[in-house]
Amino acid sequence: MKKRLKMGLGFKIGSNRSRLVFVILLAFFILMNFWMLNRIQDSGHHVVVKGLLFKSKLFKSTTSHSSQVNLPFQEELRKIAKGKKPHKTAYKRLLYKAAHALAENQYKSTEPKDLWMEPYHAVASTWQPCADQRVWKPSEGNNGYIMVTANGGINQQRVAVCNIVAVARLLNATLVIPNFMFSSVWRDTSQFGDIYQDDYFIDYLKPDIRIVKELPKELQSLDLEAIGSMVTDVDIAKEAKPSFYLKFILPLLMKNRVVHFVGFGNRLASDPIPYHLQRLRCRCNFHALQFTPKIQATAALLIQRMRQNATHSGVLDENLVGPFAKPKGKVKKDLRYLALHLRFEIDMVAHSLCEFGGGEEEKKELQAYREIHFPGLLELNNTSKIPSSERLKAEGLCPLMPEETVLMLAGLGFKRDTRIFLAGSHIYGGKSRLNALTTLFPNMFTKEDLLSSSEIQPFLNYSSQLAALDFITSIASDVFAMTDSGSQLSSLVSGYRVYYGGGKMPTIRPNKRRLADIFMKNNTIEWKVFETRIRKAVRQNKRVFSRPVGRSVYRYPRCNECMCN
């Protein structure tokens, strides 16, 4: 959110000028398209000649029932370009080159050296988890009871839970097991105990705070709203400091014996926080939250199936799925998988104010969505100029499109047969928007693909529990790739991999500004150059650094409070 707010200011581009630019761009684009179509057909023949060797295997699935066996790349491209919306042709030329490169690489035994490893392993491995170490006495929780009803999706709720744990300790309060708010977006009635093992949570944190399952009887009848003990997000600034809680919440707690936080999204600052309180937050996130056996068992199935029944588990499976993990050991190279969180759902897409190549139809659809869900954004547009979508893109503020994602993966050197777990749901534009991805990397699976209908049935009405399956399967992957670092799931997953990964669990976190720069050259750049630039941009973002001040400990646990160095 912070990032989004920033962008409303500072840019001033006259709308007339941008309209003119747009018209010119459009004309240019039409010309370019025409020219490119010719080129693609030309090079199509070219590739057939050059690619005779690999053709048969690569295009097995698409050509077996096709009459145009001698024009395989056209067939591939047609598949990519299937559908009526113009965005299906975005990056046609580069996708084409990527398909070519993937076909060639298929028979090479080597992948780029660092592809499945942390390039800065030596530094990264000096950080070890130690948030489980305590030096204090348990708080008796005598100052009263804290209740919380956390809003948002499962990942926001996870953050809220660990923040409230810290607040309870700060105020010497007893925490009532958190509630989860029903949201019209996620439509999930799951409560804390449906997702996490509540007894484990209570016991694990016993040396820190007192947690109870229910408010004592005599307090249950209080009308919290009437006595002023209902505290909503309107009453607390974002990233509020501990001093706020001591000054305003503690007296309320002492007076009424109970305070109920409703919402509680992002309401505790990352800094400054006393050392041991910060450590408690980490302890909560990385140690105290164990998923229920129902979720663990099914997530273990997913991991197993992604690893094709490997006999051993990965580095941190046990932390996630507990008793359902296979014995620890080395997972064979060809059983590895990559998890991809493609954050390209309509809320993200609409909120970004970017364009994704879908023309007028897309524009209308997204605008309608904004009117319903983000009226504040449109209001902002009335008072200050929102930068053009080109500008946003150049600044790295647009989520990666599926086409850009597949180009990034191909550019990094992942082989065509790489097994990919696709996390997330409801890709904007539907399944067809994934054509480029599934065509170039056919071994792509979602949880729905991997589970039988009876296995997934118990989860179907519970989007948070489904999201937990994605969360676990992504964390356990050998490489995790995110497309938007602002996403809560991506950020929690990468933090978890840092915490338990021992510097061996790489995360691909694209620098979107640099990527935008590279993608701008889509019409001219050579594939080799593209590869080199992509690899450099991604590698740079894998550098190991300790948590910057003000950043989340859940995402950047490399700090003395959470990890020992």
The residue (of 169 and 497) whose beta carbon lies closer to ligand NAG is: 169
Residue 353 engages ligand NAG in binding (rule: CB under 6 A):
yes
Residue 253 engages ligand NAG in binding (rule: CB under 6 A):
no
From 130, 386, 456, 544, residue interacting with ligand NAG (rule: CB under 6 A): 386
Residue 221 engages ligand NAG in binding (rule: CB under 6 A):
no
From 378, 426, 529, 540, residue interacting with ligand NAG (rule: CB under 6 A): 378
From 250, 331, 342, 397, residue interacting with ligand NAG (rule: CB under 6 A): 250
From 62, 463, 522, 552, residue interacting with ligand NAG (rule: CB under 6 A): 522
Site mask, ligand NAG, residues 277-316, x = CB under 6 A? Answer: -------------------------------xx-------
What is the C-alpha to C-alpha distance for residues 561 and 279, in angstroms, rounded to an integer?
5
Residue 519 engages ligand NAG in binding (rule: CB under 6 A):
yes
Buried-state track 193-212, b at ≥16 Cβ within 10 A, e below 16: ebbbbbebbbebbeebbbbe
Q: In 3D, which of 498, 475, 485, 489 has the Cα closest to residue 421? A: 475
What is the C-alpha to C-alpha distance for residues 467 and 459, in angstroms, rounded to an integer?
10
Query: What does the radius of gyration of the chain's CA atoms come to, in whole angstroms?
Result: 25
Write down the least CB distance from residue 380 to ligand NAG, Å: 8
Write down the least CB distance from residue 320 to ligand NAG, Å: 20
Residue 379 engages ligand NAG in binding (rule: CB under 6 A):
yes
Total chain residues near ligand NAG (CB under 6 A): 22
Enclosing H/E stretch for 341: strand 338-341
Quick one: DSSP state of residue 518? Answer: H
Write down the least CB distance from residue 111 to ligand NAG, Å: 21
How many CA atoms are closer than 13 Å to the CA of 462, on its beta-carbon side?
20
Residue 552 engages ligand NAG in binding (rule: CB under 6 A):
no
The residue type at 468: A
From 61, 68, 311, 381, residue interacting with ligand NAG (rule: CB under 6 A): 381
Give CA 157 to chain center in angstroms: 15
User: CA quadruple 529, 532, 536, 538: dihedral positive or negative?
Assistant: positive
Query: Exposed, middle or buried by CB within 10 Å (0-12, 13-18, 19+), for 379?
Result: exposed
Q: 506 with 118: CB under 8 angstroms?
A: yes
Q: How many helices (H) and strands (E) does the chain have?
A: 28, 13
What is the C-alpha to C-alpha distance for residues 560 and 546, in angstroms, rounded to an integer?
9
Residue 243 engages ligand NAG in binding (rule: CB under 6 A):
no
Query: Exposed, middle or buried by CB within 10 Å (0-12, 13-18, 19+), for 267?
Result: buried
The residue (of 172 and 232) whose beta carbon lies closer to ligand NAG is: 172
Site mask, ligand NAG, residues 36-75, x = CB under 6 A? Answer: ----------------------------------------
Q: 165 with 172: CB under 8 angstroms?
A: no
Write down the least CB distance from residue 457 to ligand NAG, Å: 5
The residue (of 351 and 555) whose beta carbon lies closer to ligand NAG is: 351
What is the C-alpha to C-alpha distance for residues 270 and 237, in angstroms, rounded to an integer?
13
Q: In 3D, which of 484, 513, 496, 338 has the Cα closest to residue 412? A: 338
The residue (of 53 and 246) whose beta carbon lies closer to ligand NAG is: 246
The residue (of 307 and 547) whose beta carbon lies closer to ligand NAG is: 307
Among 234-242, 341-349, 425-433, 520-528, which window interacts with ligand NAG (CB under 6 A)? 520-528
Residue 199 engages ligand NAG in binding (rule: CB under 6 A):
no
From 375, 528, 532, 565, residue interacting with ligand NAG (rule: CB under 6 A): 375
DSSP-H helix ranges across 322-374: 346-352, 359-373
**Three-state secondary-structure class, residue 560:** coil
Among 63-71, 110-118, 208-216, 514-522, which window interacts with ligand NAG (CB under 6 A)? 514-522
Tell me the residue ranges of DSSP E strands in 207-257.
Answer: 211-212, 230-232
Q: 522 with 94: CB under 8 angstroms?
A: yes
From 143, 232, 425, 443, residue interacting with ligand NAG (rule: CB under 6 A): 143
The residue (of 13 and 544) whose beta carbon lies closer to ligand NAG is: 13
Site mask, ligand NAG, residues 438-467, x = CB under 6 A? Answer: -------------------x--xx------
From 9, 23, 24, 520, residue interacting with ligand NAG (rule: CB under 6 A): 520
The residue (of 124 and 409) whose beta carbon lies closer to ligand NAG is: 409
**Three-state secondary-structure class, residue 214:** coil
Q: 477 with 423: CB under 8 angstroms?
A: no
Residue 523 engages ligand NAG in binding (rule: CB under 6 A):
yes
Q: 298 with 455: CB under 8 angstroms?
A: yes
Residue 171 engages ligand NAG in binding (rule: CB under 6 A):
yes
- Match 């660092």 to its residue by tokens: 114
The residue (of 229 and 522) whose beta carbon lies closer to ligand NAG is: 522
Residue 334 engages ligand NAG in binding (rule: CB under 6 A):
no
Q: 534 with 412: CB under 8 angstroms?
A: yes
Q: In 3D, which of 422, 434, 429, 424 has the Cα closest to residue 369? A: 429
Q: Which residues 86-105 are close enough to bind ligand NAG by CB under 6 A?
A: 90
The residue (of 20 and 520) whose beta carbon lies closer to ligand NAG is: 520
Q: In 3D, which of 555, 501, 540 has the Cα closest to residue 127? A: 501
Among 46-54, 97-105, 439-447, 519-527, which window interacts with ligand NAG (CB under 6 A)? 519-527
Binding footprint of ligand NAG on the chain (CB under 6 A): 15, 90, 143, 171-172, 250, 308-309, 353, 375, 378-379, 381-382, 386, 457, 460-461, 519-520, 522-523
